[in-house]
Each structure stands twice: as C-alpha cells, then as structure tokens.
C-alpha cells in the first residue's frame, strides 16, 4: 500500500510539474522604439507542451510594461490568462545593489562606506576606495544604505492557459508595450571656414530604463506621431549609465562604418538596424544613423519687432543657419526631430558655435535654425509716426537703424510682425516676403558702417 501511495504521489507531482513548469525559450526578440517615449517588444517563444490544455508562465517582462497591451499569438485556442505582481524578497533587492555605493551602519556607532561587492548566504562584502574590504556574516545588527539606487519592487508574472492544436514543440509570439525605452535624435553639424557648407551626422540616443537586459535584439527606430492613450506607467530618468557606441559628438566629420538608411513606413519614417543590438538595463547608448557631406547652408542675420513693441526696440540680431532638405543638397530624406550641435572648423580645433532644435523636417522643406546672437551688429527700431485715418484704419511709419561693427559686409533681415489686414505703402528697401502676419526686408550693411530701413504700412483691424 505504501508503494502505491508513493507511486501515485510521484505521478501527481510529475503531472503538475509538466503542466505548470513550461518555461519558454526565447528564440528571437525585436524592439521597435518610437520617438514619443514608448516601445513595442516582439518575442518569438518556444515551449515543449506535453498536455492539453496546458498552463505556462512568462516572467521575463519589464516592470514598466503596459499590461493592457499584452498579445499572445499562437496556433491554438487561448482559454484564459492572468497577471500577477509579485513582491521581490530582500535578497533580490540586495543582489540588485551590487556595484552601488553603500553606507553600512552597525553597533556602537560603527560606519563603513564603499561599494557592495559580493552577496551570498554566508554574508556580504563591501569594498572601499582605499582598498579596504568589510566582511559581514550576520546582517541582523547592521543597516545598509544604498545611494543612487532605485527599487523595482514589483515583478510581473503572466500565466496563460492554452489549448494547442498539437503537442510537442509549441511556438508563440508575445507582443507588449513599455514606456521605459525611448530614443531621441542628436545631430552634429560641422561648418566649413566659409560657413556656406556643412557636414551633418545623425546619432540615435537610446535609453533602456527598464529592469531587463535586451540581448542581441533586432532594432527599429520610428520617427513619427502615432496616437497613443494608455499611460499607466511613468518612468524615472534620473539615473542613467551612459555608454557611447559611436564617435563622440564633438568630433568633426566622423566616419560611419555602417550607415543606416531610413524608409517610409505607413505615416512614419523607420530606421532598421542591419545588425543585432544589446541594451542593458538603465543604459543609454548612442548609435550613428547616417552622415551627409557638403550640404549648402545659408547664414542669416534676423532682427524682429512688432506693432505692439515698446519702442524704441534695441538689440542685436539672431544668427540662423538655413538649409533645404533636397537630394540636390545631399539630403532629400525625412529628418527626425532632435538637437543639432553646430561646430566650425578652426585652425587647430573645431569651435562650438551654437545649438538648435530641429523639428521633424520632411523632404524638400527648408529648416531655419537659430544658433546664436550677433553681438557686433546693433539695431534700433523706432515708431516715427502713427496716424489714425478712421476707427479701424491706421498708418504707421517705422525707422530701423543698423550698425555693423564686423570686418565684413553683411545682409540683415528685418522682420516686422503685425495683426489685422496690413499692406506696405512705401519702403526704401524691397520687401523680401510677406506671410503669416509678418513682413521681411533685407538690408545690406557695409563693414564698420551703418544703414537705415524706412517703411510705412496701413493697418486695418476688425473690431
């Protein structure tokens, strides 16, 4: 009778083990990261199912995933699924703190500072910068304070009950979203000495702020604006492990071994990496995407004022760099948004001249980016005369004085902003453009001299 009981108990244990201990083998992981701070993870999983229906668990999920986005695709029938958030135990947290700065407090005012180097069932080891090591075998009377260490307390576990069409090798595809992986564009532009051409390099800054490592994944980056409404997680970007996988941004004309060309996909622009990528938890990497050389640029000085300015308006113009996104200009591709650092080739080093924020730029469009203030051009705009012709019609005359202290001739844009229906009555310089409630004049100024713009407008308002 005992033998039968033992055999039966073993049989029950074996059946339960086969049903509930199906651990998936990850065959492949692909990661698609969007610019508005969320990512889609696709994983190909393989199981060995010996019963039907079968139950299996998936625990390799980041703490910061969107629970409502879980999608399991397979050849069979899904009977039920459940999500459970388990609390980590003390030792799990302590293991996660290995390599972090810690402060140990003990009996009788004992204190020791260093890095947590080792932990096991026998105790812990803390190493200090001066080469000393502290071994603690019993933690009962000690407290360990870890700095710059974020606790990820909840561990997600998803359980699926399925009815596969056949037993044995069973493959499924798991898809979910997370807000803890993001990418941004970072450009480096190097101007030639004449400031009329530039070399442009785009880097992708990718941050993995989840609690998981993504090893050897297929990677796609998406530039675009998909609608998305789920917001059940906000990540903390305070602590980052920065790693450069490319040349540093301040280098001029870096050479990219494997440029990654983008392509149009749906309403977005996609960069697909031709090689596998590893993103460690709490890590930020920089990948070069593409470079373009000898892009024609125009340097523009611009000074603006409006009808409602407090006259006289005094100041210096803003310096812009403008370029057209066309194939003829060695571009002609969708440019993702991102910061651009501008450098100019110098005698011995490349000098930083300014930074601008590029919004998404479609093909054949023009970018006009402010990078600096020109301190050696001074401008004074004055309202010379104002005549009210009727309740809704007013004429205004303006005088703009420009003083050039540079050792070269320049051309400066004067940008006048207005409201209502405004027309130009007279001007001593030709109007360059009129659109979107503004007029732009171009005024040349000889070196170490001054010039003057005078113009008159008529403004009709609707009350």
pLDDT at 418 over 80: yes
pLDDT at 150 over 70: no
Domain with CATH 2.30.30.520 in the chain: 90-146
pLDDT at 5 over 80: no
Side-chain half-sphere CA neighbours of 263 within 13 A:
5
Write down the H helix ranges in 45-171.
90-96
Predicted pLDDT of residue 151: 56
Whole-angstrom Cα distance, residue 337 to residue 190? 18
pLDDT at 238 over 90: no
Domain with CATH 2.60.40.1170 in the chain: 376-463
Q: Please name every residue paired with 82 in a beta bridge, in sequence order, or none if there are none.
A: 159
Could you say which DSSP state residue 406 is in?
A: S
Whole-angstrom Cα distance, residue 203 to residue 259? 10
Contact call for residues 272 and 258 (beta carbons, < 8 A): no
Position 248 confidence tier, pLDDT thresholds 50, 70, 90 = very low
pLDDT at 328 over 90: yes
Mean pLDDT of 178-183: 88
Quick check: bond before 331 cis, omega within 30? no
Pick the CATH number of 90-146 from 3.40.640.10, 3.30.565.10, 3.90.950.20, 2.30.30.520: 2.30.30.520
pLDDT, tens digit (0-9, with 9 covering 90-100), for 430-455: 999 998 899 999 999 999 999 999 99
- Selection from 385, 459, 456 nearest residue 426 by Cα: 456
Mean pLDDT of the chain: 82
Q: When comparing pLDDT for 432 and 152, which is higher?
A: 432
Whole-angstrom Cα distance, residue 457 to residue 460? 10
Predicted pLDDT of residue 223: 82
Element (H, E) at 134: strand 133-136
Mean pLDDT of 15-34: 71
Neighbours of 230 (CB within 10 A): 12
pLDDT at 227 over 80: no
Structure tokens at 362: 């479609």
Mean pLDDT of 243-249: 31
pLDDT at 282 over 90: no
- b/e 180-219 (16+ beta carbons within 10 angstroms → b): bbbbbbbbbbbbeeebebbbbbbbbbbbbbbbbebeebbb
Predicted pLDDT of residue 91: 64
Question: Sign of the CA dihedral 141, 147, 152, 153?
Answer: positive
Burial class (CB in 10 A: 0-12, 13-18, 19+), 454: middle
Predicted pLDDT of residue 87: 61
Contact call for residues 170 and 73 (beta carbons, < 8 A): no
Neighbours of 261 (CB within 10 A): 10
CB neighbours of 370 closer than 8 A, spacing ≥ 6? 302, 318, 319, 320, 354, 356
pTM tops 0.75, yes or no: no
Structure tokens at 279: 């993103």
How far from 8 is each of 5, 13, 22, 55, 57, CA to CA, in Å? 5, 9, 22, 22, 26
Neighbours of 176 (CB within 10 A): 22
* Counts of helices then strands in the chain (DSSP H, E): 2, 33
pLDDT, tens digit (0-9, with 9 covering 90-100), for 47-103: 888 888 988 888 888 878 888 888 999 889 999 988 887 665 666 666 767 878 888
Q: Please name every residue paired with 438 in a beta bridge, in sequence order, or none if there are none.
A: 417, 435
Predicted pLDDT of residue 21: 46
Structure tokens at 285: 């990497």
Query: Which architecture characterizes domain 376-463 according to CATH?
Result: Sandwich (2.60)
Mean pLDDT of 274-303: 93
Whole-angstrom Cα distance, residue 162 to residue 115? 46
pLDDT at 302 over 80: yes
Structure tokens at 298: 């125009």
Predicted pLDDT of residue 18: 36
pLDDT, tens digit (0-9, with 9 covering 90-100), for 349-402: 899 999 999 999 999 999 999 999 999 999 999 999 999 999 999 999 999 999
Q: When comparing pLDDT for 153 and 103, which is higher?
A: 103
pLDDT at 205 over 60: yes
């Amino acid at each position: 009778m005992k033998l039968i009981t033992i055999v039966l108990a073993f049989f029950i244990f074996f059946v339960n083990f086969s049903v509930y201990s199906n651990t998936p083998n990850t065959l492949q992981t692909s990661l698609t990261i969007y610019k508005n701070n969320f990512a889609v993870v696709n994983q190909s999983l393989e199981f060995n199912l010996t019963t039907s229906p079968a139950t299996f668990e998936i625990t390799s999920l980041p703490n910061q995933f969107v629970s409502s986005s879980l999608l399991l695709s397979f050849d069979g029938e899904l009977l039920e699924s459940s999500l459970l958030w388990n609390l980590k135990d003390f030792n799990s947290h302590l293991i996660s703190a290995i390599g972090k700065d810690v402060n140990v407090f003990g009996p009788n005012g004992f204190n020791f500072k260093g890095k947590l180097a080792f932990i096991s069932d026998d105790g812990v080891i803390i190493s200090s910068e001066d080469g000393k090591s502290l071994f603690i075998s019993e933690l009962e009377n000690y407290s360990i304070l870890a700095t710059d260490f974020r606790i990820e307390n909840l561990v997600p576990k998803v359980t699926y009950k399925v009815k596969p069409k056949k037993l044995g090798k069973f493959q499924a595809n798991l898809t979910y979203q997370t807000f803890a992986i993001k990418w941004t564009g970072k450009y480096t532009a190097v101007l030639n000495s004449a400031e009329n051409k530039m070399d442009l390099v785009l880097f992708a800054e990718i941050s993995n702020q989840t609690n998981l490592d993504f090893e050897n994944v297929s990677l796609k980056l998406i530039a675009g604006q998909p609608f998305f409404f789920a917001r059940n997680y906000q990540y903390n970007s305070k602590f980052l492990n920065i790693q450069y996988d490319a040349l540093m941004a301040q280098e001029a004309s870096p050479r990219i071994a494997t440029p990654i060309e983008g392509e149009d996909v749906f309403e977005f622009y996609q960069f697909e990496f031709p090689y596998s990528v590893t993103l460690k938890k709490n890590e930020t990497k920089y990948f070069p995407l593409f470079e373009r050389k000898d892009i024609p640029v125009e340097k523009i000085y611009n000074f603006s004022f409006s009808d409602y300015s407090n006259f006289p308006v005094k100041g210096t113009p803003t310096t812009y760099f403008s370029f057209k996104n066309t194939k003829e200009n060695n571009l002609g591709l969708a440019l993702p948004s991102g910061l651009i650092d501008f450098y100019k080739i110098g005698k011995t080093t490349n000098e930083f001249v300014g930074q601008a924020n590029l919004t998404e730029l479609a093909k054949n469009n023009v970018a006009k980016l402010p990078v600096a203030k020109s301190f050696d051009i001074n401008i004074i705009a004055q309202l010379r005369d104002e005549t009210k012709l009727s309740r809704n019609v007013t004429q205004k005359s303006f005088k703009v004085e420009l003083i050039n202290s540079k050792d070269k001739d320049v051309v400066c844009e004067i940008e006048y902003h207005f409201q209502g229906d405004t027309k130009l009555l007279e001007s001593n310089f030709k109007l360059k453009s009129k659109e979107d409630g503004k007029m732009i004049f171009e005024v040349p100024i000889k070196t170490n001299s001054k010039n003057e713009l005078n113009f008159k407008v008529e403004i009709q308002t609707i009350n």
